[in-house]
A and B are shown apart, each in its own frame.
Chain A
Amino acid sequence: MDNTTTVDHVEYEVEDYTGPAGTTAGRLGVWILISSEITIFAGLLGSYILFRIFHPEWSEESAHLNIVLGTINTILLLSSNFFMMKAASAVEQGNQKKSAKLMLLTIALGLAFLVVKGFEYAAEFSHGEFPSTSTFWSFYFLLTGLHGTHILGGLIAIGILWAHAKNDNLGELKGRVALTGLYWSFVEVVWIFLFPLLYLLREGVAK
Chain B
Amino acid sequence: MSQEHHQGFFTKYIFSTDHKMVAKQFLLLALSMAVIGGFYAFLIRWELAYPNQPAPFFGVVTPDKYNAIITLHGTIMLFFVGMPLLNAFPSNFLVPLMIGARDMAFPRLNMASFWMTLLAAGLLVSSFFVPGGPVAGGWTGYAPLSASSEYTGVKMGMVLWIISLALVFIASSLGGINYLVTVVTMRAKGMTYSRVPITVWFLLAAALTFFLAVGPVLAGAFMLLMDNVFGTGFFLPGKGGEPLLWQHLFWFFGHPEVYVLFFPTLGFCLDIFAVFCRKPIFGQKLIIGSTVVAIALSFVVWAHHMFQTGMNPTLVTPFAITTILISVPFAIIYVCMFLTIRNGSISLEPPMLWALGFLATFLVGGLTGIFLGAAGADIYLHGTYFVVAHFHYTMFPSVFFGGYAAVNYWYPKMFGRMLNRMAATIHFVLTFIFFNCVFWPLFIVGMGGMVRRIADPSFYPQYSPFVHLNIFATISAMCLIATQTIFLWNFFYSMKNGKVAELNPYHANTLEWLAQSPPPHGNWGPKLPVVTSGPYEYSKPGETEDWHTQAPSYKGEAIHG
Contacts and interface: CB of A to CB of B under 8 A. Distances in A.
Question: In their complex, do chains A and B touch, with some C-beta pair under 8 Å?
Answer: yes
Interface of A: 5, 7-8, 10-15, 17-20, 23-25, 28-29, 32-33, 35-44, 46-47, 50-51, 55, 130-132, 134-135, 138-139, 142, 146
B200 to A, nearest CB: 16
A28 B177 CA distance: 9
Contacts of A38: 215
A43 B246 CA distance: 11
- The secondary structure that dominates the B interface is helix
Contacts of B101: 15
A19 B184 contact: yes
A37 B215 contact: yes
Given A138-B232, A138-B233, A43 B220 contact: yes
B245 A50 contact: yes
A38 B526 CA distance: 41
Interface magnitude class on chain B: 35 or more
Interface string B105-146: 110000000000000000000000000000000000000000
Contacts of B180: 28, 32
B526 A11 contact: yes
B181 A32 contact: yes
A47 B184 CA distance: 34
Contacts of B213: 39
Contact of B185 (A14, A19, A33, A47): A19
Contacts of A12: 3, 522, 526, 559
A46 B184 CA distance: 32
Contact of B177 (A32, A41, A131, A135): A32
Given A5-B1, A36-B215, A131-B230, A15 B186 contact: yes
B343 interface: no
5 tightest CB-CB pairs across the interface, nearest first?
A39-B215, A43-B216, A43-B219, A138-B232, A132-B231
Interface string B93-106: 00000000110011
A28 B226 CA distance: 33
B560 interface: yes
B447 interface: no
Given A18-B185, A138-B226, 13 more contacts: A7-B3, A7-B5, A8-B560, A13-B526, A19-B185, A32-B177, A35-B212, A36-B177, A38-B215, A43-B220, A44-B219, A132-B233, A139-B234
Interface string B151-187: 0000000000000000000000100111011101110
A55 B245 contact: no
B239 interface: yes
Contacts of B184: 19-20, 25, 28
A32 B102 CA distance: 22
Nearest to A11: B526
Interface in B384-425: none
A35 B213 CA distance: 11
B214 A135 contact: no
A15 B185 CA distance: 8
13 contacts: A5-B3, A7-B3, A7-B559, A7-B560, A32-B177, A32-B180, A35-B211, A43-B217, A44-B219, A132-B230, A132-B233, A138-B226, A142-B226
A135 B223 CA distance: 11
Given A12-B559, A36-B212, A132-B232, A28 B185 contact: yes
A197 to B, nearest CB: 15
B104 to A, nearest CB: 10
Given A36-B212, A50-B245, A135-B240, A25 B560 contact: no
B245 A29 contact: no
B215 A42 contact: yes
B218 interface: yes
Nearest to A44: B219
Contacts of A134: 233, 239-240
B552 interface: no
A159 to B, nearest CB: 19
A29 B223 contact: no
Contacts of A46: 216
A135 B234 contact: yes
Contacts of B242: 51
Contacts of B173: 33, 36
B241 interface: yes
Nearest to B227: A138
B222 interface: yes
Given A25-B106, A132-B233, A138-B226, A39 B2 contact: no
Between A8, A11, A24, A29, the greatest number of chain B beta carbons within 10 A of the residue's beta carbon is seen for: A29
Nearest to B170: A36
B214 A39 contact: yes
B249 interface: yes
Nearest to A50: B245
B181 A39 contact: no
Nearest to B5: A7
A119 B232 CA distance: 22
B249 A8 contact: no
B285 interface: no
Contact of B219 (A10, A40, A51, A130): A40
Contacts of A42: 215-216
B370 interface: no
A88 B456 CA distance: 65
Nearest to A3: B1
Given A131-B232, A135-B233, A29 B527 contact: no
A33 B186 CA distance: 19
